[in-house]
Amino acid sequence: MTGPCVLRLRGVALSFGRVEVLRGVNLDVHAGVRHLLLGPNGAGKTTLFNTINGHLRPSAGTIEFDGSDVTRLSTGQRARRGLGRTFQIASLFPQLTVWDNLLIAAQAPSLLKKGARAANADAAAALERSGLAAQRNMIVGNLAYGQQRLLEIAMALATKPRMLLLDEPMAGLTQEERGTFAERVVELSTHTAILLIEHDLEVALRIAEHVTVLSLGAVVFDGKPADALSAPIVKEIYLG
Protein backbone atom coordinates (compact mmCIF):
# COMPACT_ATOMS: atom_id res chain seq x y z
CA MET A 1 0.00 0.00 0.00
CA THR A 2 1.26 3.47 -0.86
CA GLY A 3 2.26 5.55 2.15
CA PRO A 4 1.86 9.31 2.59
CA CYS A 5 3.44 11.68 0.09
CA VAL A 6 6.88 12.63 1.41
CA LEU A 7 8.05 14.78 -1.51
CA ARG A 8 5.82 16.86 -3.79
CA LEU A 9 7.01 19.05 -6.66
CA ARG A 10 4.64 21.29 -8.57
CA GLY A 11 5.64 23.23 -11.68
CA VAL A 12 9.35 23.20 -10.82
CA ALA A 13 11.37 25.02 -13.48
CA LEU A 14 15.00 26.07 -13.65
CA SER A 15 16.75 28.19 -16.24
CA PHE A 16 20.36 29.24 -16.71
CA GLY A 17 20.03 32.37 -18.78
CA ARG A 18 17.88 31.43 -21.76
CA VAL A 19 18.49 27.72 -21.33
CA GLU A 20 15.61 25.82 -19.72
CA VAL A 21 17.03 22.89 -17.75
CA LEU A 22 13.84 21.92 -15.89
CA ARG A 23 10.41 22.61 -17.35
CA GLY A 24 7.33 22.47 -15.13
CA VAL A 25 8.23 19.27 -13.28
CA ASN A 26 5.47 17.67 -11.20
CA LEU A 27 6.56 14.78 -8.99
CA ASP A 28 5.11 12.86 -6.02
CA VAL A 29 7.25 10.43 -4.00
CA HIS A 30 5.49 8.34 -1.37
CA ALA A 31 6.78 6.66 1.76
CA GLY A 32 7.54 2.97 1.31
CA VAL A 33 7.77 3.23 -2.49
CA ARG A 34 11.03 2.78 -4.41
CA HIS A 35 10.77 5.57 -6.98
CA LEU A 36 13.06 5.50 -10.02
CA LEU A 37 14.01 8.60 -12.03
CA LEU A 38 15.03 7.73 -15.59
CA GLY A 39 16.15 9.75 -18.57
CA PRO A 40 18.98 10.05 -21.11
CA ASN A 41 22.13 12.06 -20.43
CA GLY A 42 21.25 15.74 -20.28
CA ALA A 43 17.63 15.09 -19.32
CA GLY A 44 18.02 17.06 -16.08
CA LYS A 45 18.01 14.22 -13.52
CA THR A 46 20.95 15.36 -11.38
CA THR A 47 19.86 18.98 -11.76
CA LEU A 48 16.47 17.97 -10.40
CA PHE A 49 18.19 16.27 -7.43
CA ASN A 50 20.23 19.43 -6.82
CA THR A 51 17.03 21.45 -6.84
CA ILE A 52 15.23 19.07 -4.48
CA ASN A 53 18.00 19.15 -1.88
CA GLY A 54 18.61 22.89 -2.10
CA HIS A 55 21.90 23.17 -4.03
CA LEU A 56 19.94 24.97 -6.75
CA ARG A 57 16.91 27.21 -6.34
CA PRO A 58 14.10 26.79 -8.88
CA SER A 59 13.13 29.66 -11.14
CA ALA A 60 9.48 28.73 -10.61
CA GLY A 61 7.33 26.17 -8.82
CA THR A 62 7.21 24.74 -5.30
CA ILE A 63 8.88 21.89 -3.41
CA GLU A 64 7.14 20.35 -0.41
CA PHE A 65 8.92 17.90 1.87
CA ASP A 66 7.15 16.02 4.65
CA GLY A 67 4.16 18.36 4.40
CA SER A 68 6.08 21.67 4.51
CA ASP A 69 7.13 24.09 1.77
CA VAL A 70 10.94 23.92 1.56
CA THR A 71 11.37 25.76 -1.75
CA ARG A 72 13.38 28.57 -0.19
CA LEU A 73 15.19 26.57 2.49
CA SER A 74 18.93 25.87 2.39
CA THR A 75 20.51 22.46 1.91
CA GLY A 76 21.29 22.28 5.64
CA GLN A 77 17.75 23.18 6.63
CA ARG A 78 16.36 20.45 4.37
CA ALA A 79 18.84 17.95 5.79
CA ARG A 80 17.74 18.80 9.32
CA ARG A 81 14.17 18.05 8.26
CA GLY A 82 15.26 14.59 7.10
CA LEU A 83 16.26 14.84 3.44
CA GLY A 84 19.39 12.72 2.76
CA ARG A 85 21.49 12.58 -0.40
CA THR A 86 24.23 10.47 -1.95
CA PHE A 87 26.24 11.51 -4.98
CA GLN A 88 27.53 9.94 -8.21
CA ILE A 89 31.02 9.83 -6.64
CA ALA A 90 31.27 8.57 -3.07
CA SER A 91 32.24 11.23 -0.48
CA LEU A 92 34.03 9.37 2.30
CA PHE A 93 37.04 9.71 4.62
CA PRO A 94 39.23 6.92 3.18
CA GLN A 95 41.92 7.12 5.87
CA LEU A 96 39.42 6.50 8.71
CA THR A 97 37.53 3.37 9.73
CA VAL A 98 33.99 2.52 8.76
CA TRP A 99 32.86 3.28 12.30
CA ASP A 100 34.65 6.65 12.37
CA ASN A 101 32.95 7.65 9.13
CA LEU A 102 29.55 6.74 10.57
CA LEU A 103 30.19 8.66 13.79
CA ILE A 104 31.16 11.77 11.83
CA ALA A 105 27.95 11.51 9.84
CA ALA A 106 25.83 10.85 12.93
CA GLN A 107 27.24 13.81 14.81
CA ALA A 108 27.16 16.11 11.77
CA PRO A 109 27.63 19.22 13.95
CA SER A 110 26.50 21.59 11.23
CA LEU A 111 23.23 19.69 10.80
CA LEU A 112 22.15 17.99 14.00
CA LYS A 113 22.39 18.72 17.72
CA LYS A 114 22.74 15.45 19.58
CA GLY A 115 24.78 14.00 22.40
CA ALA A 116 27.48 11.34 22.12
CA ARG A 117 25.12 8.57 23.25
CA ALA A 118 22.52 9.43 20.60
CA ALA A 119 25.19 9.75 17.91
CA ASN A 120 26.59 6.32 18.81
CA ALA A 121 23.12 4.78 18.71
CA ASP A 122 22.35 6.30 15.30
CA ALA A 123 25.74 5.21 13.91
CA ALA A 124 25.21 1.66 15.23
CA ALA A 125 21.74 1.44 13.70
CA ALA A 126 23.05 2.69 10.34
CA LEU A 127 25.91 0.18 10.47
CA GLU A 128 23.50 -2.70 11.07
CA ARG A 129 21.19 -1.67 8.25
CA SER A 130 24.10 -1.18 5.83
CA GLY A 131 25.25 -4.79 5.99
CA LEU A 132 28.79 -3.65 6.88
CA ALA A 133 28.89 -4.75 10.53
CA ALA A 134 31.76 -7.14 9.82
CA GLN A 135 33.78 -4.25 8.34
CA ARG A 136 33.25 -1.90 11.32
CA ASN A 137 36.97 -1.47 12.09
CA MET A 138 38.29 -1.59 8.53
CA ILE A 139 40.01 1.42 6.97
CA VAL A 140 37.58 2.74 4.35
CA GLY A 141 40.29 3.00 1.70
CA ASN A 142 40.70 -0.78 1.94
CA LEU A 143 37.03 -1.54 1.29
CA ALA A 144 35.81 -2.86 -2.05
CA TYR A 145 34.18 -0.16 -4.14
CA GLY A 146 30.72 -1.66 -3.68
CA GLN A 147 31.21 -1.60 0.09
CA GLN A 148 32.21 2.06 -0.11
CA ARG A 149 28.93 2.84 -1.88
CA LEU A 150 27.04 0.98 0.85
CA LEU A 151 28.95 2.99 3.46
CA GLU A 152 27.93 6.24 1.78
CA ILE A 153 24.29 5.23 2.14
CA ALA A 154 24.94 4.19 5.75
CA MET A 155 26.38 7.65 6.46
CA ALA A 156 23.23 9.21 5.07
CA LEU A 157 21.15 6.83 7.21
CA ALA A 158 23.08 7.91 10.32
CA THR A 159 21.32 11.28 10.08
CA LYS A 160 17.98 9.42 10.33
CA PRO A 161 16.49 10.75 7.07
CA ARG A 162 12.84 10.59 6.11
CA MET A 163 13.96 10.28 2.51
CA LEU A 164 17.09 9.40 0.54
CA LEU A 165 18.08 10.74 -2.88
CA LEU A 166 20.37 8.15 -4.48
CA ASP A 167 22.25 9.53 -7.48
CA GLU A 168 23.54 6.61 -9.58
CA PRO A 169 24.62 4.61 -6.50
CA MET A 170 25.50 1.53 -8.58
CA ALA A 171 27.85 3.31 -10.99
CA GLY A 172 31.12 1.42 -11.26
CA LEU A 173 29.91 -1.68 -9.45
CA THR A 174 30.40 -5.22 -10.73
CA GLN A 175 27.33 -7.25 -11.69
CA GLU A 176 27.55 -9.18 -8.41
CA GLU A 177 27.89 -5.95 -6.41
CA ARG A 178 24.88 -4.50 -8.25
CA GLY A 179 22.75 -7.45 -7.17
CA THR A 180 23.83 -7.09 -3.53
CA PHE A 181 23.32 -3.34 -3.63
CA ALA A 182 19.84 -3.70 -5.15
CA GLU A 183 18.85 -6.06 -2.34
CA ARG A 184 20.05 -3.49 0.20
CA VAL A 185 18.00 -0.73 -1.45
CA VAL A 186 14.89 -2.91 -1.21
CA GLU A 187 15.54 -3.42 2.50
CA LEU A 188 16.16 0.28 3.11
CA SER A 189 12.91 1.26 1.44
CA THR A 190 10.93 -0.34 4.28
CA HIS A 191 12.31 2.41 6.55
CA THR A 192 13.04 5.36 4.25
CA ALA A 193 11.43 6.86 1.14
CA ILE A 194 13.80 6.49 -1.83
CA LEU A 195 14.17 8.44 -5.07
CA LEU A 196 16.79 6.77 -7.26
CA ILE A 197 18.66 7.73 -10.42
CA GLU A 198 20.13 4.67 -12.13
CA HIS A 199 21.31 3.90 -15.67
CA ASP A 200 21.30 0.11 -15.33
CA LEU A 201 17.71 -0.38 -16.48
CA GLU A 202 17.67 -4.13 -15.87
CA VAL A 203 18.53 -3.78 -12.19
CA ALA A 204 16.70 -0.50 -11.65
CA LEU A 205 13.39 -1.65 -13.12
CA ARG A 206 13.62 -4.87 -11.15
CA ILE A 207 13.64 -3.02 -7.82
CA ALA A 208 11.55 0.04 -8.75
CA GLU A 209 7.88 0.31 -7.81
CA HIS A 210 7.21 3.62 -9.59
CA VAL A 211 9.01 5.24 -12.53
CA THR A 212 9.27 8.85 -13.67
CA VAL A 213 11.02 9.58 -16.97
CA LEU A 214 12.58 12.96 -17.77
CA SER A 215 13.46 14.21 -21.23
CA LEU A 216 14.83 17.69 -21.92
CA GLY A 217 13.91 18.74 -18.39
CA ALA A 218 10.25 17.71 -18.55
CA VAL A 219 8.36 14.68 -17.24
CA VAL A 220 7.29 12.52 -20.20
CA PHE A 221 6.18 9.41 -18.29
CA ASP A 222 5.04 8.71 -14.75
CA GLY A 223 3.70 5.31 -13.78
CA LYS A 224 4.39 1.63 -13.15
CA PRO A 225 7.69 0.01 -14.21
CA ALA A 226 5.83 -2.58 -16.30
CA ASP A 227 4.38 0.22 -18.42
CA ALA A 228 7.51 2.35 -18.72
CA LEU A 229 9.44 0.61 -21.49
CA SER A 230 6.31 -0.05 -23.54
CA ALA A 231 5.30 3.63 -23.52
CA PRO A 232 5.85 5.13 -27.02
CA ILE A 233 7.66 8.21 -25.72
CA VAL A 234 10.06 6.11 -23.64
CA LYS A 235 10.73 3.78 -26.60
CA GLU A 236 11.50 6.80 -28.74
CA ILE A 237 13.94 8.20 -26.15
CA TYR A 238 15.82 4.98 -25.51
CA LEU A 239 15.52 3.13 -28.80
CA GLY A 240 15.26 5.98 -31.28
Residue 188, in any domain of the structure: no
How many distinct structural domains can be found in the chain?
A: 2
Which of 36-50, 53-67, 146-160 is the least confident region?
Answer: 146-160
CA distances from 197 to 58, 111, 134, 150, 204 (A): 20, 25, 28, 16, 9
- State whether 77 and 109 are in the same domain: no
pLDDT of residue 114: 64
* CATH at 47: 3.40.50.300
Structural domain boundaries enclosing 47? 1-81+164-172+197-240
- State whether 95 and 156 are in the same domain: yes
- State whether 7 and 58 are in the same domain: yes
- State whether 69 and 168 are in the same domain: yes
% of residues, the chain, pLDDT over 70:
94
User: Which of 160, 183, 206 represents a domain boundary (last residue)?
Assistant: 160
Pairing of strands 60-65, 5-16: antiparallel
Q: What is the pLDDT of residues 108-130, one digit of tens each?
A: 755 556 677 888 898 998 898 88
User: Which of 113, 133, 160 represents a domain boundary (last residue)?
Assistant: 160
CB of 92 within 8 A of CB of 155?
yes
pLDDT of residue 113: 62
What's the predicted TM-score (pTM) here? 0.85
